[in-house]
């Protein structure tokens, strides 16, 4: 997973789609979440070569050697492709900077509630080192029957040709399960994260799946708040040829309640997206302009995907 390329029009580094052979290091392997999900990742076939938890160096977790520092781990086990981070919110910045300093260029941040200013600094360093960041507040990445990098429940997924990109954690698995029950397997599912500031974007993953030979259709799962869905809709209209189906969580939220932040509202006016940026109406209108069908509930997604694939044929 070492190949890096640029997102057209976005100026951001992208990893190649070949996650399956990744050598993985887990930071926070002795934390409660790490201890819970590392055995699940192992059973799924993920190659976890080392773990890092300060003060636990010299021990083992699920048969995996544990080190105090990332640098020590790499000296002993060799190069690492991906770090999955389960560390506490206020130690995430230090852990991520440590991984980047050790040369790891793909990070999956599972932890939620990371201080926004910490994420700003983390992402600045990621940009300067060409590090691809997924999350935070993310269930991570799963390629069905190949690799699990995070907390996705494997029983919801089966191999196939539908890629899922989602802001939500649990909804990602719910959508996957609906697709699986309809006989529509998945090429990959990724949660980009639900915090206010996240690393990789809808646009980046849309391009990854657009270029992936295994993926024939894309499901985008959004939420009210922020402008990421509106931006993604414009990008779909401009750059994506594969069929895309969307779902927006929060349709029944009270109307008139201001959701999002001042920067998103101001930028929406400048870009002429509309003053209701972040609302479900704004997102639905953006997808309509991009000619992206939107399901009104997760159970309707499989039918829309089938219809989109039939139209393409």
Active-site residues: which are they?
261
Cβ-based neighbour number of residue 75 at 10 Å: 11
φ/ψ of residue 133, rounded to 5: -115, 125
Give the span between the Cα atoms of 53 and 63, in whole angstroms: 15
CA 91 to chain centroid, in Å, comes to 21
Give the span between the Cα atoms of 154 and 69, in whole angstroms: 30
φ/ψ of residue 166, rounded to 5: -145, 145
Q: Would the CA dihedral through 297, 285, 290, 307 be positive or negative?
A: positive
Q: How far is CA 11 from CA 128, 224, 262, 282, in A?
A: 12, 26, 24, 26
Instruction: Outline where the chain has alpha helix (H).
Output: 32-43, 70-77, 92-101, 116-129, 170-181, 202-211, 228-239, 262-270, 280-289, 301-312
Q: Give the burial string for 220-235 (b: 16+ CB within 10 Å, else e).
A: bbbbbbbbbbbbbbeb
Give the span between the Cα atoms of 294 and 26, in whole angstroms: 37
Q: At what angle do helices 92-101 and 70-77 cross, to 10 degrees?
A: 40
Give the span between the Cα atoms of 272 and 224, in whole angstroms: 18
Cβ-based neighbour number of residue 181 at 10 Å: 12
């Amino acid at each position: 997973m070492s190949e890096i390329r640029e997102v057209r029009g976005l100026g951001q580094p992208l990893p190649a789609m070949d996650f399956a052979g990744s050598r993985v290091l887990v930071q926070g392997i002795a934390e409660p979440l790490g201890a819970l999900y590392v055995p699940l990742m192992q059973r799924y076939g993920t190659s976890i070569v080392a773990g890092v938890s300060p003060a636990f160096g010299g021990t083992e977790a699920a048969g995996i050697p544990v080190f105090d520092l990332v640098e020590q781990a790499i000296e002993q086990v060799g190069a690492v492709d991906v770090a999955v981070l389960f560390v506490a919110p206020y130690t995430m910045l230090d852990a991520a900077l440590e991984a980047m300093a050790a040369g790891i260029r793909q990070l999956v941040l599972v932890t939620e509630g990371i201080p926004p200013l910490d994420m700003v600094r983390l992402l600045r360093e990621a940009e300067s080192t060409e590090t691809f960041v997924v999350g935070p507040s993310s269930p991570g990445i799963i390629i069905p029957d190949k690799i699990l990098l995070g907390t996705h429940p494997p029983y919801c997924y089966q191999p196939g040709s539908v890629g899922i990109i989602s802001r939500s954690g649990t909804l990602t698995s719910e959508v996957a399960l609906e697709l699986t029950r309809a006989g529509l397997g998945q090429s990959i599912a990724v949660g980009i994260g639900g915090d206010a500031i996240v690393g990789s974007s809808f646009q980046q993953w849309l391009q990854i799946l657009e270029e992936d030979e295994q993926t024939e259709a894309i499901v985008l799962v959004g939420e009210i708040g922020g402008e990421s869905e509106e931006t993604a809709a414009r990008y779909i209209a401009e750059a994506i040829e594969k069929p895309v189906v969307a779902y927006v969580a929060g349709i029944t939220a009270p109307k008139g309640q201001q959701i999002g932040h001042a920067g998103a509202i101001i930028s929406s006016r400048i870009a002429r997206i509309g003053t209701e940026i972040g609302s479900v109406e704004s997102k639905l209108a953006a997808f309509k302009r991009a000619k992206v069908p939107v399901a009104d509930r997760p159970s309707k997604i499989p039918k829309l995907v089938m219809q989109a694939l039939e139209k393409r044929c």
